[in-house]
Structure 1
Amino acid sequence: MSNKFKILDADFLHKDTVVSFSTSIFKVGELALFSSYIFRNIGLQELNNKLKGWGRGQIPLIKDSHEWIENGKECEILVPGAKGWQKGRLRIKVVLEFCPDEVELEETPEKIIHEPITKNNHLMIFGKR
């Protein structure tokens, strides 16, 4: 399968785009909302339990898990090659991505091939549109 997945903007552009599965139909906006709700209410606790069970430590759980998804949680990151730790916020986002079976070709003037075409033994030349 091609790795041409594109993020669907569930808040604005693709909010009303419809997704059809074999048994159900959803709007992208509502499916993203349900996914975020489940992650906020079950997923963060489950992630914390798995990390703890694997001996990897724990993420800070807070009373309002909404903070993880909307505002982010205060943290520090260390990027390889950077001068040191950088303070900031880490946010977890639940996104929906879509990959079409057939990639649509974008037709732009630069991509149009200008070739002579013959029709009824007459040469037809197509230029730019």
Structure 2
Amino acid sequence: MEDGFKPIECNDGDVLDFGENTYKIGKFKQAIDTSFNPTLEDTLNEELSRQGVEIKESPNVNWFHEGIDCEILTLGSQSWKKGKVKIKISVEFYVEEEDVQITNSNNSEITEPDSPLDDLRRMIHEKN
């Protein structure tokens, strides 16, 4: 995402606050998954058609759960591979502001690591 926002990992027990309403991430994802219903799929197919993407499939297309039969030709491959295409949406949270730096009992600053691997490197280095 642009504008200097940084994504963070979210767990199902984390909570989102939308002003007057708060929801656990797990409930939010479940509601989105339940919303992936035939009406939404019909709307998606209509919009794809308006954009010039025609999917010749039965009226019971299933983008979100079972997927739609198709074939793929990947770069470097000698032949087409049969499979399904499925739409999956992820829930991501992007931090707007950096957390205020916290100091521990040794008065050293604790900041968010530059890389998720930094914590692992530090732990390995401490064990050696």
TM norm structure 2? 0.62
Q: Gaps (5+ residues) in structure 2?
A: 100-111
Matched with 2:78 is 83
Q: Which structure has the larger Rg?
A: 1
Residue in 1 that maps onto 2:4: 2
Gap regions ≥5 residues in structure 1: 9-13, 113-127
Matches within 5 A, 1:110-125: 110-111=121-122
Q: Does 1:96 align with 2:91?
A: yes
- Deviation track 1:61-117 (CA, whole Å, cap 9, x = no partner) reads 55474xx333333221122332221111222112101222338226637459xxxxx
Residue number in structure 2 paired with 1:125: none
The SS at the match of 2:83 is strand
Task: Give the length in aligned residue pairs.
Answer: 108
Which TM-score applies when normalising by structure 1? 0.62
Residue 43 (str. 1) matches residue 43 (str. 2): no
- Provide runs of 4+ in structure 1 moved above 6 Å: none
After superposition, residues 18-33 of structure 1 pair within 5 angstroms as 18-33=15-30
2:52 corresponds, among 51, 55, 70, to 55
One-letter code aligned to 2:98: E
